[in-house]
Amino acid sequence: MPFSIGVLHKMSNSFRSKLAGLAAMALGVSAPLAHAGWGDLNMTQGVTELSREIYGLHMIIFWWCVAIGVAVFGVMIYSLINFRKSKGAVPDTTMLHSTKAEIIWTVIPVFILVLMAIPATRTLIKIEDTRNTELTIKVTGYQWKWQYEYIDDGYGFGFFSSLDRKSDAARQLQSGIDPASVENYLLDVDKPLVVPENTKVRLLLTAQDVIHAWWVPAFGLKKDAIPGFVNELWFKVEAGKTGTYRGQCVELCGRDHGFMPVVVNVVSKDAFKTWVADQKALAAPPPAENAAPASEPTAPEANAPAQAAAPIAAPVATPVAMARR
């Protein structure tokens, strides 16, 4: 797919303005086209070793499909061009079957599949290896928000994370708010999950009501959160890849399934320590209720953009930041 990106970029401007016109005509509203989506054609490489390996697998199998496709479609197109009745082609009605051909086109695919299965199995074994994790977070899906609890010894706090107010206002039926005017529309929360970089983080996933699924594309994996069961998922964001990563619930969970994003702030280990200390102070028996905790009093380099984008985040954070334990 990368080969087509350039072409699409070239055509995108005129095409987009046409579409915008069409949208305005058809719907009588201004078309929100602030973000360029034409270039989003392929899977993200992500920021973990696993996500890169998965991207690699995806590309290998993709190119195998392209190769097989070129061969098969090539034969088809060749036939359609050269064996046309209108060109006076005479059918060879004696061609009924060929054991040799059958064996060849059974064995070659087997060979390709084995070649694919080996690296896929290797990566899968790595994915399932949840040993030696350094931080454990319990993730609980609710209709329609996430709860994150840091359950390791010495942590003992947790909070809810739900769609931020700006997106929530804009996503109401006929809200009149242009989604393009909301930064990170539907992909922003009041209080994101915070994890340190270069740390093997284990998530324990479960749900309170119905099945949900937790996914951050940049981390490479998704897993279902099932009521009554605990699933495991791990990721380790590479050193230096601090920043905000976004995803969504990916298992239909009712009316507002589309409105429970996953946002993860990956911060440096030091910043994470500071953040944890703040959270513990918050969770401790009431020192002063109206301390109005900023949602993430952590390393500025990690969450400054999110903060700037959501000036109303602070008051929102107060009611939901109450620790569960």
Partner 1 sequence: MAYTTSPAAHDTHDHHDHKPTGIKRWLFATNHKDIGTMYLVFACIMFFGGGIMALVIRLELFQPGLQFVDPGFYNSMTTMHALLMIFGAVMPAWTGFANWMVPMQVGAPDMALPRLNNLSFWILPFAFTLLLLTLFVPGGAPAGGWTLYPPLSLQAGDSFPLTIFAIHLMGASSILGAINVIVTIMNMRAPGVGLLNMPLFCWTWLITAYLLIAVMPVLAGAVTMLLTDHFFGTSFFSAAGGGDPVMFQHIFWFFGHPEVYILILPAFGIVSEIIPTFSRKPLFGYESMVYATASIAFLSFIVWAHHMFTVGMPLAGQLFFMLSTMLIAIPTGVKVFNWCATMWKGSISFETPMLFALSFLFLFTLGGFSGLMLAIVPADFQYHDTYFVVAHFHYVLVPGAIFAIMAGVYYWIPKWTGRMYDERLGKWHFWLSTIGVNVLFFPQHFLGLAGMPRRIPDYSTQFTDWNMVSSVGAFMFGFSQLLFVYVIVKCVTSGEKAAERPWGKAAHGLEWELPTPAPYHSWETPPSLQVITRGAEHSGTFGHS
> For partner 1, which is the closer residue by CB, 224 or 296?
224
User: What is the 8-class DSSP label of residue 311?
Assistant: T
Q: At residue 270, what is the residue type?
A: D
User: What is the 8-class DSSP label of residue 3?
Assistant: G
> For partner 1, which is the closer residue by CB, 155 or 261?
261
Residue 192's closest CA among 275, 69, 128? 275
Contact 149, 140 (CB under 8 A): yes
> For partner 1, which is the closer residue by CB, 9 or 269?
9
> For partner 1, which is the closer residue by CB, 306 or 321?
306
Look up tokens 């697998």; give the residue.
Answer: 57
CB of 7 to partner 1, least distance (A): 14
Strand 193-196 to strand 157-161: parallel, antiparallel, or no bridges (unpaired)? unpaired
CB of 86 to partner 1, least distance (A): 7
Work out the end-to-end distance of the chain between its first and last CA atoms, rounded to an integer number of angstroms.
48
Task: Specify which residues 193 forms β-bridges with.
Answer: 264
Q: What are phi and psi of 7, to 5 degrees?
A: -60, -45
> For partner 1, which is the closer residue by CB, 78 or 239?
78
CB of 4 to partner 1, least distance (A): 10
Query: In angstroms, rounded to a whole number, what is the distance separating the alpha carbons of residues 294 and 260?
Result: 21
CB of 107 to partner 1, least distance (A): 9
CB of 212 to partner 1, least distance (A): 10
